[in-house]
Amino acid sequence: MESDVLIVGGGVAGLSLGAALSGHRRVAVLEAEEAIGHHSSGRSATFSHFGIGNEIVRSLTAASRAFFQQPPNGFSETPIARTATALFVATDEMLPTLDKLAEVMKPHAPHIRRVGAEEMLALFPPLRTGTGKVIAGLVDTEGLRLDANALLQGYARKIRFSGGEVLTGARIAAVRAEGGLWTAVAESGERYAAPILVNAAGAWADGFARTAGVAPLGLRPLRRTIIIVDPPDGADSSGWPFVKTAVDDFYILPEGGRLAASPVDEVPDDPCDAQPEEYDIALAAWKVEEYTTLAVPRVQHRWAGLRTFASDRTPVAGFDPAAPGFFWLAGQGGFGLQTAPAMAEAAASLILSTDWPEQLAALGISPHVLGPERLIHG
């Protein structure tokens, strides 16, 4: 099968780029698993907020909001995002970090404000407040809760509607570059060829590059764990905010009538079908009891996923300087959903050689900022 652009990886990165290119180029997205979004993209906390990442990540998050709030006509039958409150909390010793967070968030979320115990408890009744516990917070009433499934399906539908392909069960095992064409061979023996090959393989991105004879960028998959616990009997937790500590050691948010909590672990792992470790599950439960008045007699459900980072924690989009036609779309860390629309727009403009998106330029993001060269030359 031949196309203009072959995208390896059917997570949010590959699918969002495929959708941005569809209608302009013949696109084929190849996903190893039987379903799209099987790995990181289907295991996230699905929240978009400015309390994560560096300034480039915050700018990409800001540039993606319009897409989530007003997706293109017919993109999805159900909303892909809804406004939800984010509450960043601090104990006495975390206060300097909370101040710093307010400073870096303000340019993107000028409406954020400091709140005290009373207001925090009105928003999130189980919060443990008082001496030695949480004493201050920062509230952002304009966070976004994303629907990952609706988002992924919307992107896939757009690709197929424009004549492109999204193929599952297509694990690429070998890659050859010859005569300006990349040929990817699946385990089944099926062959796919295109002049442009996009590496959107998530945690496998460095390994996939090696398969294609391209030098890796030093991307690191880090495992993160989420547990599901019950709210107190009779409590309606559906309107509770996303609550995160300023120092990044705990978060909790409503999830399907229950609560999802994470110890914000970052455990180095190999690219794999990530599974939660007993230690991290216990740590998550302990932190729920440490930061809230909730008791965790039982963990109802748990999962883990990989968040894959470049050394500077900025995502990567750009052609490899040493391998013509080989395009990197990787290193989306813990912000791959909330930055996907802007990253896809940036990547599509590089692949289509169109003008760099004005919105990104205005936010100080140039191709150079996202390009892989920065990681190759140290």
The residues that touch ligand FAD, with contacts defined as CB under 6 A, are 8-14, 30-33, 38-41, 43-47, 170-172, 200-204, 208, 224, 226, 305-307, 332-338
As a whole number of angstroms, the distance between CA 60 and CA 11 comes to: 18
Closer CB to ligand FAD, 38 or 133, in the complex: 38
Name the DSSP letter for residue 201: -
Least distance to ligand FAD from the beta carbon of 184, Å?
8
Closer CB to ligand FAD, 30 or 136, in the complex: 30
Least distance to ligand FAD from the beta carbon of 117, Å?
26
As a whole number of angstroms, the distance between CA 335 and CA 60 comes to: 9
Closer CB to ligand FAD, 164 or 305, in the complex: 305
CB of 204 closer than 8 Å to CB of 168: no
Q: What are phi and psi of 151, to 5 degrees?
A: -65, -50
Least distance to ligand FAD from the beta carbon of 93, Å?
26
Least distance to ligand FAD from the beta carbon of 317, Å?
11
Structure tokens at 65: 């909001």
As a whole number of angstroms, the distance between CA 240 and CA 307 comes to: 25
DSSP string covering 244-297, please? EETTSS-EEEEETTEEEEE----EE--SS-----HHHHHHHHHHHHHHBS---S
Closer CB to ligand FAD, 137 or 276, in the complex: 276
Least distance to ligand FAD from the beta carbon of 226, Å?
5
Which residue's entry shows tokens 């009538």?
Answer: 257
Closer CB to ligand FAD, 117 or 303, in the complex: 303
Whose CA is closest to 374, among 327, 317, 324, 326? 317
Least distance to ligand FAD from the beta carbon of 168, Å?
9
Closer CB to ligand FAD, 200 or 348, in the complex: 200
Closer CB to ligand FAD, 108 or 136, in the complex: 108
Least distance to ligand FAD from the beta carbon of 159, Å?
14
How many Cα atoms occupy the beta-carbon half-sphere of 167 within 13 Å?
A: 20
Closer CB to ligand FAD, 66 or 295, in the complex: 66
DSSP string covering 57-69, please? HHHHHHHHHHHHH
Structure tokens at 24: 């302009």
Helices (H), strands (E): how many in the chain? 11, 19
Least distance to ligand FAD from the beta carbon of 96, Å?
25
Q: What are phi and psi of 117, to 5 degrees?
A: -55, -45
